[in-house]
Amino acid sequence: MCVASSLALSSAAIAADWQTLKNCQFVSKDYNDGDSFHVEHRGKEYIFRLYFVDAPETDDRLPERLAEQAAYWKITPAEVLKVGKLAAEFTEQQLKSHPFTAFTKWDNARGDSKLPRYYAFVLVNKKDLGELLVSEGLTRLHGVKTDKPDGTDAKAVEQRLEMLERIAKSKKLGGWAVGSKTKESSARAAPLTTPVLPPLKPNLSQPAATSPAEPAPSASVPPGEAATNSPATAETSAYRISRSGIRHNSRCRYFDSPNNAPCTATEGRACKLCGG
């Protein structure tokens, strides 16, 4: 769904307290998500967090926020994580496809990274990224609000986003597709039967079913190997490596990310947050 952005900004229209960063480049990181991501501008790296919107979580490190998001879309926490990954992929695809512009006042958006994170509006291919995410049902309306750089007041921005959300909800896109299908499945299911989750729009790959006779292996023990108390096993249980080859120790906030695998203390590249 393609909706023209209301953020039609020119250099002359931008208020003095806003700074414009043109021709930004997306920087791939394990912990980028739909509304928060790393960018590079003129050789310097920044983290920006979008105003007005909150994309679903991509891991379960913040159970309270995960529960809030599940209640918003009326879906399960597991389904929230799937929508969150779809939102992260959507943002990455949009920002990798075109150079983009960030408008920021350098307001602190906090975060756990050593690199500061700032709130921003992002314009990609002449469209506002926050509006694109809402139009696809991939973010909830929740977060810090402010007038736009062109002077559009925050209330008008919010009303436009609410209109885009109503359209996405009526078309059953993103999280609204999951919520709608889940309720339909629940109504047809027998008592005490877990409803079957159909694919999202666009489709998400479903995990392969695990045979009841073969319990899923422990995250710290490779499939087919029995757990031991050997030094090698103790070492691999203390470290995990991401798909992109970044090693995290057991104290790291990204240690329990879903796609991590056990590793030794020398495998991969050390995480900059925990030192690996």
Between residues 57 and 276, which one has the greater pLDDT?
A: 57
pLDDT at 191 over 60: no
Q: What is the pLDDT of residues 53-83, one digit of tens each?
A: 999 999 999 999 999 999 999 999 999 999 9
- Across the chain, mean pLDDT equals 81
Instruction: Report pLDDT digits (tens) over 253-262.
Output: 777 877 788 8
Q: What's the pLDDT at 183?
A: 56
Per-position DSSP letters for 177-238, written without gaps between them: HHHHHHHHHHHHSPTTPPPPPPPPSS--PPPPPPPTTSPPPPTTS-TT-----SHHHHHHHT
The whole-number average pLDDT for the span 156-166 is 97
More confident residue, 271 or 166: 166
Q: For residue 273, give the nearest of 113, 39, 132 by alpha carbon.
A: 113
Per-residue pLDDT band at 236 (split at 50, 70, 90): low
pTM of the model: 0.64
- Does residue 112 surpass a pLDDT of 90? no
Q: What is the pLDDT of residue 127?
A: 95
pLDDT of residue 217: 45
pLDDT digits over 131-150, tens only? 999 999 999 999 999 999 99
Task: Say yes or no to pLDDT of 275 above 60.
Answer: yes
pLDDT at 13: 61
Cβ atoms of 130 and 41 closer than 8 Å: no
What type of residue sits at position 236? T
- pLDDT at residue 234, as a whole number: 54
DSSP assignment of 74-134: T--HHHHHHHHHHHHHHHHHHHHHS-EEEEE---B---SSSS-EEEEEEEETTEEHHHHHH
All structural domains of the chain, each given as residue ranges with its CATH number in brackets, are: 17-176 (2.40.50.90), 231-270 (no CATH)
pLDDT for residue 18 is more than 90: yes
**Highest mean pLDDT of the ranges 20-29, 208-217, 241-250:** 20-29
The better pLDDT of the pair 267, 82 is held by 82
Q: Which residue has the higher pLDDT, 223 or 135?
A: 135
pLDDT value, residue 46: 97
Q: Higher pLDDT residue, 111 or 7?
A: 111
248 — pLDDT class (breaks 50, 70, 90): confident
pLDDT at 216 over 70: no
For residues 224 and 114, the model is more confident at: 114
